[in-house]
């Protein structure tokens, strides 16, 4: 059992979720309430990571952010640290890959908030920020929770991107999925089996918890709404 | 979050990229190295071709042990490394099969021939000859003994020779041609058996290593250590041939 790799994966998941969820709340809300030209193109763009193979994303990141690209060189000068083969690069990759998993559920949840409720809040003189925190977020929070769990679990299992641009360095970019792959390559099936089981149990628990939580809370919201 | 917590650890422990086929030998040498010098290394195993791409794009590896010297020459030609490095071992092929397999093992592949004639061969594993050096040598070997055409329809390809070895031992193949260094590892022998294939029937597999520009003192020390007698003994224990130029060294 490679605890270092598991720890690294959990850290990567947590950092990704912390960055992505506030961003997704902002974008998801914007897309739910606004109609504008080219909206379906923006939505399509957001969904792209869902259909691209992770190795393609990993390839673009390796070439686009590597030390041979101008962008990679610029970022390296600004940050004092190159992104590829480094934990920060994995964060960038995870955030990009998980955009659809974060925005989709949150956007749907905002779309389900009745317009009258928002109008009522505005009529009562609530500021947009107050309306968001007091009225909308309590209503959309099952969507936020779903996004959070989806992203967290998805990062834990991310493989192709990390393989392409991570470099498989212990303690830095060797995540649990890479460690499982390594164990299998080394005929260490006991270790691979243990780690796979941990991931499987985690995935089932996380999904079961989200489903039951959002059913309870979501059910409340729906009954209140109707 | 402890984002910076690993960088101090990285400072004196060099990252090393190594071809998957030397895993068992190199793990042992790294343990010896730590015993003898008190210093540690971090080794990432993978396919040599992938490492070349990563090193070109700035991967922080200080030392690269390739399965095939052509990758080292490539890096040198691209101006990524200042030298052409050093030969550290010569790879050999082995025919391997799961313990339950009906394939009988012999260096001339007569067992494989008879399975083919009886129509009892279902699957045979080698590494992908298009980009894996051991797969390329396996294809050469099969061509030399005139079996390539017949075996071809039954081949399944591993992404690298380690995966090919896994396939060869999975029980869903009758066997495969893999690196001798993997076939000799204890983990492998628990599941299968092997026979060494004659090296005259394929072009030699010169495994070469090179220090990158990022190499620090520990990486350089390890590079020298790999050429010393204790490391050479380990390579030879795992079935590698040894380069002669440093034979005189103690």
Instruction: Show the tokens assigned to B2.
Output: 């402890």
Give CA separation, A221 vs A72, A207, B102, in Å.
Answer: 46, 20, 64
- pLDDT at site B6: 44
Contacts with A39 (C-beta within 8 Å, 6 or more apart), sequence order: A31
Does B150 lie at the interface with A, CB-CB under 8 angstroms?
no
- pLDDT at site B235: 96
CA distance A127 to A137: 14
What are the CB-based long-range contacts (under 8 Å, 24+) for A128-135? A132/A29
Q: If contacts are CB pairs under 8 Å, which of residues 68-97 in chain A contact chain B?
A: 68, 72, 82, 84-88
Cβ separation A187–B54 shorter than 8 A: no
Cβ separation B58–A172 shorter than 8 A: no
Q: Is the pLDDT of residue B5 over 60?
A: no
Give CA separation, A95 vs A139, B2, B44, B236, in Å.
Answer: 25, 19, 25, 46
Question: Is there a contact between A96 and A65 (Cβ–Cβ < 8 Å)?
Answer: no
Cβ separation B58–A171 shorter than 8 A: no
Does B53 lie at the interface with A, CB-CB under 8 angstroms?
yes
**B38 — pLDDT class (breaks 50, 70, 90):** very high
CA distance B86 to A83: 30
Residues of A in contact with B45 (CB under 8 A): 168, 182, 185-186
Pairing of strands B93-98, B175-179: antiparallel
- The continuous run of DSSP H or E covering B88 comes out as strand B86-91
**B11 — pLDDT class (breaks 50, 70, 90):** low
Smallest CA–CA distance, residue A67 to chain B, in Å, is: 5
Smallest CA–CA distance, residue B162 to chain A, in Å, is: 6
Q: Is the pLDDT of residue B248 over 60?
A: no
Chain B residue with Cα closest to A171 = B6
Q: What is the mean pLDDT of chain B?
A: 89
Question: Is there a contact between B4 and B41 (Cβ–Cβ < 8 Å)?
Answer: no
Q: If contacts are CB pairs under 8 Å, which of residues 195-214 in chain B contact chain A?
A: none
Cβ separation A187–B169 shorter than 8 A: yes
Contacts with A118 (C-beta within 8 Å, 6 or more apart), sequence order: A33, A131, A135, A136
Could you list the mean pLDDT of each consecutive 10-residue stretch along chain A, which spans 226 residues? Answer: 92 97 96 93 93 90 87 87 88 95 94 89 85 89 91 91 85 91 84 92 88 68 46
- pLDDT at site B3: 39
Chain A residue with Cα closest to B14 = A169
- 3-class secondary structure, B107: coil
Chain A residue with Cα closest to B191 = A187
pLDDT digits (tens, 9 = 90+) for B67-84: 999 999 999 999 999 999
pLDDT digits (tens, 9 = 90+) for B74-129: 999 999 999 999 999 999 999 999 998 999 999 999 999 999 999 999 999 999 89
- Test the A interface: residue of B58, B161, B165 with most A CBs within 10 Å: B58
Does B80 lie at the interface with A, CB-CB under 8 angstroms?
no
pLDDT digits (tens, 9 = 90+) for B131-169: 788 999 999 999 999 999 999 999 999 988 888 998 998
- Test the B interface: residue of A82, A84, A169 with most B CBs within 10 Å: A169
- From the list A181, A192, A187, the residue with the least C-alpha distance to B187 is A187
Angle at B186 (CA atoms; ends B183, B190), nearest 5 degrees: 90
Smallest CA–CA distance, residue B3 to chain A, in Å, is: 8
A and B: number of Cβ contacts within 8 A = 81
Cβ separation A82–B58 shorter than 8 A: yes
The larger pLDDT score, comparing residue A68 to residue B196, is at: B196
CA distance A91 to A64: 15
C-alpha dihedral, A21 to A22 to A25 to A27, nearest 10°? -100
Smallest CA–CA distance, residue A13 to chain B, in Å, is: 11
- Test the B interface: residue of A185, A189, A191 with most B CBs within 10 Å: A185
């Amino acid at each position: 059992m490679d605890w270092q790799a598991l720890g690294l994966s959990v850290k990567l998941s947590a950092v990704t979720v912390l960055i992505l969820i506030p961003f997704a709340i902002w974008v998801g809300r914007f897309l739910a309430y606004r109609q504008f030209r080219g909206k379906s193109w923006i939505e399509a763009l957001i969904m792209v990571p869902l259909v691209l193979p992770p190795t393609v994303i990993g390839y673009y990141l390796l070439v686009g952010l590597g030390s041979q690209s101008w962008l990679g060189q610029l970022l390296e000068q600004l940050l004092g640290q190159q992104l590829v083969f480094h934990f920060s690069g994995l964060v960038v990759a995870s955030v990009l890959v998980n955009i659809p998993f974060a925005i989709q559920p949150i956007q749907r949840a905002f779309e389900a908030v009745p317009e009258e409720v928002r109008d009522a809040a505005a009529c009562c003189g609530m500021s947009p920020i107050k309306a968001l925190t007091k009225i909308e977020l309590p209503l959309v929070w099952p969507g936020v929770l779903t996004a959070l769990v989806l992203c967290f679990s998805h990062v834990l299992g991310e493989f192709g991107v990390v393989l392409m641009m991570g470099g498989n360095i212990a303690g830095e970019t060797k995540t649990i999925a890479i460690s499982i792959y390594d164990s299998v390559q080394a005929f260490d099936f006991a270790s691979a089996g243990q780690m796979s089981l941990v991931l499987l149990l985690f995935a089932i628990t996380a999904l079961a918890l989200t489903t039951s939580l959002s059913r309870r809370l979501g059910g409340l919201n729906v009954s209140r709404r109707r | 979050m402890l984002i910076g917590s690993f960088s101090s650890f990285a400072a004196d422990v060099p990252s090393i990229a190594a071809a998957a086929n030397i895993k068992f030998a190199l793990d042992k040498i790294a343990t010896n190295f730590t015993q003898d010098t008190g210093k540690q290394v971090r080794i990432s195993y993978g396919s040599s071709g992938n490492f070349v791409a990563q090193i070109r794009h700035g991967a922080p590896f200080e030392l690269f042990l390739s399965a095939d010297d052509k990758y080292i020459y490539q890096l040198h030609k691209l101006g990524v490394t200042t030298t052409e490095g050093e030969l550290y071992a010569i790879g050999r092929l082995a025919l391997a099969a799961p313990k339950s397999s009906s394939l009988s093992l012999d260096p001339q592949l007569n067992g494989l021939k008879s399975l083919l004639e009886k129509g009892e061969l279902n699957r045979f594993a080698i590494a992908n000859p298009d980009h894996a050096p051991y797969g390329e040598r396996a294809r050469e070997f099969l061509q030399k003994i005139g079996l390539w055409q017949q075996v071809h329809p039954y081949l399944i390809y591993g992404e690298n020779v380690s995966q090919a070895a896994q396939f060869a031992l999975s029980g869903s193949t009758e066997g495969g041609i893999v690196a001798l260094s993997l076939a000799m590892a204890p983990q492998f022998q628990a599941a299968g058996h092997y026979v060494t294939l004659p090296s005259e029937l394929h072009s030699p597999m010169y495994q070469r290593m090179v220090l990158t520009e990022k190499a620090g003192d520990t990486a350089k020390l390890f590079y020298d250590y790999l050429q010393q007698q204790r490391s050479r003994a380990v390579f030879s224990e795992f079935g590698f041939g040894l380069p002669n130029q440093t034979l005189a060294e103690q």
